[in-house]
A and B are shown apart, each in its own frame.
Chain A
């Protein structure tokens, strides 16, 4: 049994999870641009009231516009600005530098908290490296101001403890929010992974269903006859409409391509190759996307669930639900493991090494209770032998 398909599965899941993250990250660049622009309005008013000249205020406005432009460019033109994470980091750095110059310009303790507001704004990205950068910049710029511009945070009631406490507060603020966002980001990425996983699981489940169905039918799917039927249908359709038949040529090519490997046309011109590839998408085969699409569509039929109503027990299936007793967790591990050792119509019997590899190196390890998993990893050989011994009796009988 090949584990290549396992690797392909992981590849698709990782790619889709990454693309989901990028999609939401791109969307967040838009939100941040809007919030950032809105925040600029009261800041400009404050600067005006502090008596700053228009030229000075203009520099701030231009800087904001530039950052917003960078964000929007990454949002809108993803084909040119592909490395969105770079754009996010540039924006983060820019926002912090702007806020630092505001603090230095205004020279008032009241504006110091803008660093916290900037932190909140940047945290919307919920990106791991940006969060680290966010923490570093807050701490660094906070320290620069406290050390090099101590008069900024001095109020009329000057107190010696003040600097220490401001430092302490920044440290607690950063520590708490780092923890909060570390948990949030981990869970968000896990959720993206779960979405990607269930989408790929759907593809694989449909494929399993297709194969089981073919087994059950005792015959292959006869899709090539569909082309003749559609040819007759389109003939009459075009005659009735009095139009030239655009389907015949397509159907002929699709029919000819049905049992041909499209890769063999690789030396054709790119234009022709593109047309062949496009039409090859329309070939209805056992393992084709269209077949998957049709089977998925059939689940929308109204009477579909008449036979067995579906029960959804938990959002994420696993063998380690907190409300399950340890006994249940042990039993379910034993059932799962032994079932993999049994030859089934849809899955051959697996060796102990194959099971170990797939559990240890793939996400399956997260499905089990950590203690039970440890027992298995420490004793996999023994457990496997135990099951093999029992099942070999089955073969003998």
Chain B
């Protein structure tokens, strides 16, 4: 229980798999408690003998199956079975009773489905449950009438309408969340892609500078390797895990820095264990754009003094955010052109960042749709109209 609560507290750092496991565990816990508390209802409820025996047995079976799938890490299946268990419980009460709580249980089951935050599961199971709920109200509506109620039709409509409204509002909620998440995710990945591009260039500059100053890359320095080995061994000892394996892994890691990983991956002679480690280590290599370098650069970047600008426009890179004045924007456009023509910003055929953009390349760039995030359509038109002047003065 303590571990569960700790996981809820730190749920933002869980992976989607870990999060699903947490959710299924919580739902099963609720299901267990709910079953224990509400089973006494069956004693006083007006259930037929079949319902009394059949449905609780199904419920227990579904519950045990959900638990088994959870333990064996079949998380999606476990999630589905936990929903079936709750649906089973709902049907148990709605079939056997004509009380208000049968109706309210429909909301609880919808809540369980909402809890998983999976839009398709919600649409299918939630939709089916609401459909069942509407029919349920239609058939037993008279026993749900209030003591002061006068119209059965109106009472039924209110019951059904509220259930439907609850379902639709959460559906809208899901759609809004998904669309906001998709937009942000797209933005995130596009910036991440850019960062990896900068990283490629930064690594190249670093490599060239090391060569110039006759310095070895850190992954080729024996002291670095030995130091990594010692720290790894030290932590392994605390864990009391096999230090032989960690030594071999350190060696393998540095060995990979001299090799072409893609070629090794294709090799048929590679044993499965090495291949497994290779796949896991690839993203931590120091000699290529990798998660390791991304984190190191992110760390190093925090020691960089950057420009100061209010947060509202700090991350906007359209030239309009610097000035709304047309003359100013033309000056900015000229800067961009001169920079592209005179400063090396691209890899040359030898893999060095030594190449400047040609006029034609800049024209393609300026007229591309993606570039509307940087310059406006009117800026582009200005460039096209004065292309010869740009060429004459800035090339």
* Closest Cβ neighbor of B114 among chain A residues: A180
* Closest Cβ neighbor of A342 among chain B residues: B218
Residues of A within 8 A of B189 (CB): 312, 315
Binds A, one of B47-55, B60-68, B76-84, B172-180: B172-180
Contact yes or no, B327 A250, CB < 8 A? yes
Contact yes or no, A203 B315, CB < 8 A? yes
A31: CB under 8 A from chain B? yes
Contact yes or no, A330 B374, CB < 8 A? no
Residues of A within 8 A of B157 (CB): 46
A314: CB under 8 A from chain B? yes
Residues of A within 8 A of B98 (CB): 155, 157
Complex Cα distance A365/B209, Å?
31
A394: CB under 8 A from chain B? yes
Binding site of A, secondary structure by majority: helix, strand, loop or mixed? Answer: helix
Contact yes or no, B115 A296, CB < 8 A? no
Binds B, one of A58-66, A69-77, A185-193, A264-272: A185-193
Contact yes or no, A162 B101, CB < 8 A? yes
Q: Which of B13, B19, B173 contacts A124 (CB 8 A)?
A: B173
Residues of B within 8 A of A375 (CB): 235, 238-239
Contact yes or no, A302 B328, CB < 8 A? no
Residues of A within 8 A of B295 (CB): 317-319, 336, 364, 367
Q: Which of A200, A201, A226 contacts B334 (CB 8 A)?
A: A226
Q: How many A-B residue pairs have CB under 8 A?
A: 509
A80: CB under 8 A from chain B? no
**Smallest Cβ distance from B123 to chain A, in angstroms?**
16
Contact yes or no, A234 B330, CB < 8 A? yes
- B: interface residue count bin: 35 or more
A194: CB under 8 A from chain B? yes
Contact yes or no, A113 B197, CB < 8 A? no
Complex Cα distance A238/B110, Å?
69
**Smallest Cβ distance from B91 to chain A, in angstroms?**
16
**Smallest Cβ distance from A148 to chain B, in angstroms?**
16
Contact yes or no, A318 B291, CB < 8 A? yes
B124: CB under 8 A from chain A? no
Contact yes or no, B231 A304, CB < 8 A? no
Q: Which of A116, A195, A289 contacts B162 (CB 8 A)?
A: A116
Complex Cα distance A312/B148, Å?
65
**Smallest Cβ distance from B210 to chain A, in angstroms?**
7
Contact yes or no, A109 B146, CB < 8 A? yes
Contact yes or no, B202 A205, CB < 8 A? yes
Residues of A within 8 A of B112 (CB): 176
* Closest Cβ neighbor of B218 among chain A residues: A342
* Closest Cβ neighbor of B336 among chain A residues: A294
A242: CB under 8 A from chain B? no
Which residues in window 199-258 of A have CB below 8 A to B?
199-209, 211-213, 215-216, 221, 226, 229-230, 232-234, 236-237, 240, 246-247, 250-251, 254
* Closest Cβ neighbor of A13 among chain B residues: B311
Complex Cα distance A212/B202, Å?
7
